[in-house]
Chains A and B, each alone.
Chain A
Amino acid sequence: MSEILVMKDIVKCYYLGGETQVVLDKVNLTITQGEFVSILGPSGSGKSTLMNIIGCLDVPTSGKYVLADNDVEDLDERELARIRNKEIGFVFQSFQLLPRLSALENVELPMIYAGVPVQQRKKRAAAILERVGLHDKMRNYPNQLSGGQQQRVAIARSVVTEPTILLADEPTGALDQNTGKQIMELFTELNNEGRTIIMITHDINIANHSKRVVNILDGKLIEQPRDSISSGNTIERSV
């Protein structure tokens, strides 16, 4: 399996009132094609910052980050936007659907920026919405959909461009337990279809749906032993 994401000694510092705050402290992470990885940590652990760097929304202070053979160092905003469009599919906690666009149009959005022709765009968006089980909701607007349906639209949007990584930030955070479970099942299915998924969460039960868990605490990564994942309780002890 090929390595699609390699982070080496990633450091991210913020400067607040003359004080330097180290948010990520020499993070090393390698993810290969087809993995389903959870990055698990409490709030303030630096997991959001790590997600932003993985998602090319932010750049590290130092260290090397290679995403699908793109060296993310020294890229300007335009090039970062292109990489986000091509390599990353975002799923957010609050869905982030545009309220004035229908489900279909929301799924079309990333393809507009990728320059996909209209006809092809519509066809692909419709196909992917069918895949996530919303074939009868394509013309609906976000406010006419339940939370779980909205998150399905968002997931459809994130995979419609066939990105290298599906990057999900607390994807079940705004959903009830049952719906959350269905969403996690969808992720598992997508992973079984060969998609690489990175999920950021603070919830151990959610993290347990993935095949690999990486803990983050105070800006440092600790790899969770594989055999411990099935019995969730050990994670708390190890952190």
Chain B
Amino acid sequence: MIIESIKMSWSNIINNKMRSFLTVLGVVIGVASVIALITIVEGATGSITEQISALGANKITVQAMGTPLKQGLNQKDLSKLSAIEYVSGVSPTISSSTAIVYNNNAETNITVQGKNEVYFKSESKNIASGRGINILDVENKTQVAVIGSEIAQKLFLGKSPVGEQIKVNGCTYTVVGLLKPTSGFALGSTNDVVMIPYTSAMKTLGVRSITSVDVYMADSAKSDAIISSINGVLNEAFNYREKAYNVFNMQDMLNAMGNITGMMSMILAGIASISLVVGGIGIMNMMLVSVTERTTEIGLRKALGAEPGRIQLQFLIESVFLSLFGGIIGLMLGVLVAFVAAMVIDFTLKITVGTILLAVGFSATVGIIFGYAPARKASRLNPIDALRHV
């Protein structure tokens, strides 16, 4: 019986090609815009999230501004922080701007960062050649450096920098490693940075205390417990002075951003779905015209024994068929638009089963809602009047 109805619907759609096409166009545009917007927002969000995650979703950043008495953290504070449960390591960063010289080639205002072995263990994949800074370098205050790709290009002009000697703030350092170029949104780029052991950095750059520390978590699900332990250590270190430090969790930022983009995609999809409603009205209009045109047919079918429910079902199937058809074309069009956008804005396109179900579900719902009234009208036609209508 459903098959019969689908066959009849198909023949009606085929027999009114132009009208069906124009009617379906409304749904196509509606579904396409909803799908394109959702896919674009999701894809862009995914790319941004990935970039931020790459910076370290598994770390908590501590900024210690300190107090007049104690201007940052010391070695003791660091060992206390690394002793916290679920903390896999602590990496201090000492940052300063200074001049770097290789032979007679000098670059001023280069960011020099003091790091430890924990940083290079966590980010080992970022080494392009040579090695990172290890624990012996840190303990012995070895004068070795790992340099960013842009700096390497500027100083060594394409020559391999590993093994060469440079001067950092007047002290001689041996280059032991080259960092991979970072790309994309350039957030936290290390392309123009020179990294040296933080102990050496404190000596060479004349820094006495540590103001920035990354705490790596062994289990990021435990971040709340870890943060409260960090607060405990820092409160003690700074004698419970207010505003002496900041604790910043990357995961919190990711979550906040997820909320914002989620809301944004809902709002955009909401606006786009207005066009879906317009498309639905188009379907309703066509179905009403169709009912009027086929009054005699409806009357005859009733005379031959079609129950009102069957007539209603047939018209309902026809409208759902139309809108589903539009939905599928709209889905393809929307994905195509998103694909083009992905190439232009440069993000990875993600088409989920959810998106497809959304398109299909949306259009089927439109068909049912806007097909109901015409179908009901058809089912209620009086067969005598309908047969007389010629």
Q: Which of A52, A78, A85, A112 gathers most chain B CB within 10 Å?
A: A112
Chain B residues 252-270 with CB under 8 Å of chain A are: none
Closest to A89 in B: B304
Nearest chain B CB to A114's CB is how many angstroms away?
Answer: 7
Q: Which of B11, B302, B306, B308 meets A100, CB within 8 Å?
A: B11
Verify if B171 is at the interface (C-beta below 8 Å from A).
Answer: no
Nearest chain B CB to A150's CB is how many angstroms away?
Answer: 13
Chain B residues 1-38 with CB under 8 Å of chain A are: 1, 4, 11-12, 15
What does the 1/0 interface line of A79-115 toward B look like (CB < 8 Å)?
0011011100010101010101000000001101111
Q: Which of A52, A82, A114 meets B384, CB within 8 Å?
A: A52
Whether A82 lies near B305 (C-beta < 8 A) is yes
Chain B residues whose C-beta falls within 8 Å of the C-beta of A114 in the assembled complex: 305
Q: Which of B297, B308, B390 meets A98, CB within 8 Å?
A: B297
Nearest chain B CB to A13's CB is how many angstroms away?
Answer: 16
Verify if A239 is at the interface (C-beta below 8 Å from B).
Answer: no
Q: Which of B1, B12, B296, B384 meets A57, CB within 8 Å?
A: B384
Verify if A41 is at the interface (C-beta below 8 Å from B).
Answer: no
Chain B residues whose C-beta falls within 8 Å of the C-beta of A52 in the assembled complex: 384
Whether B4 lies near A96 (C-beta < 8 A) is no
Verify if B310 is at the interface (C-beta below 8 Å from A).
Answer: yes
Verify if A58 is at the interface (C-beta below 8 Å from B).
Answer: yes
Nearest chain A CB to B371's CB is how many angstroms away?
Answer: 20
Whether B304 lies near A55 (C-beta < 8 A) is no
Chain B residues whose C-beta falls within 8 Å of the C-beta of A94 in the assembled complex: 390
Closest to A157 in B: B304
What does the 1/0 interface line of B170-200 toward A look like (CB < 8 Å)?
0000000000000000000000000000000
Chain B residues 359-390 with CB under 8 Å of chain A are: 383-384, 387, 390
Verify if A73 is at the interface (C-beta below 8 Å from B).
Answer: no
Verify if A162 is at the interface (C-beta below 8 Å from B).
Answer: no
Verify if A130 is at the interface (C-beta below 8 Å from B).
Answer: no
Nearest chain B CB to A156's CB is how many angstroms away?
Answer: 13
Chain B residues whose C-beta falls within 8 Å of the C-beta of A84 in the assembled complex: 302-305
Verify if B307 is at the interface (C-beta below 8 Å from A).
Answer: yes
Whether A96 lies near B305 (C-beta < 8 A) is no
Given A52-B384, A58-B384, A96-B296, decide whether A109 and B304 contact each other with a Cβ distance below 8 A: yes
Whether B387 lies near A96 (C-beta < 8 A) is yes
Given A52-B384, A58-B384, A100-B11, decide whether A81 and B300 contact each other with a Cβ distance below 8 A: no
Chain A residues whose C-beta falls within 8 Å of the C-beta of B384 in the assembled complex: 52, 57-58
What does the 1/0 interface line of A27-52 toward B look like (CB < 8 Å)?
00000000000000000000000001
Chain B residues 267-306 with CB under 8 Å of chain A are: 296-297, 300-306
Q: How large is the interface on B (under 10, 10 to 19, 20 to 34, 35 or more residues)?
A: 20 to 34
State the majority secondary structure of interface residues on A: helix
Whether A98 lies near B300 (C-beta < 8 A) is yes
Nearest chain B CB to A115's CB is how many angstroms away?
Answer: 8
Whether B305 lies near A85 (C-beta < 8 A) is yes
Whether A78 lies near B1 (C-beta < 8 A) is no
Q: Which of B309, B387, B390 gathers most chain A CB within 10 Å?
A: B387
Nearest chain A CB to B385's CB is how many angstroms away?
Answer: 10
Chain B residues whose C-beta falls within 8 Å of the C-beta of A115 in the assembled complex: 1
Whether A100 lies near B15 (C-beta < 8 A) is yes
Verify if A71 is at the interface (C-beta below 8 Å from B).
Answer: no
A210 CA / B384 CA spacing, docked (Å):
26
Given A98-B297, A100-B11, A112-B4, decide whether A55 and B305 contact each other with a Cβ distance below 8 A: no
Closest to B302 in A: A81
Chain B residues whose C-beta falls within 8 Å of the C-beta of A223 in the assembled complex: none
A82 CA / B305 CA spacing, docked (Å):
6
A84 CA / B306 CA spacing, docked (Å):
9
Q: Which of B303, B306, B308, B384 gathers most chain A CB within 10 Å?
A: B303
Whether A57 lies near B303 (C-beta < 8 A) is yes
Closest to A163 in B: B305
A94 CA / B300 CA spacing, docked (Å):
11
Chain B residues whose C-beta falls within 8 Å of the C-beta of A85 in the assembled complex: 304-306
Whether A110 lies near B305 (C-beta < 8 A) is yes
4 further contact pairs, Cβ within 8 A, besides A90-B303, A113-B307: A77-B307, A81-B302, A84-B304, A84-B305
14 residue pairs bridging A and B, Cβ less than 8 Å apart? A57-B302, A57-B303, A77-B308, A81-B307, A84-B302, A85-B304, A86-B305, A100-B12, A112-B1, A113-B305, A113-B306, A113-B307, A113-B310, A115-B1
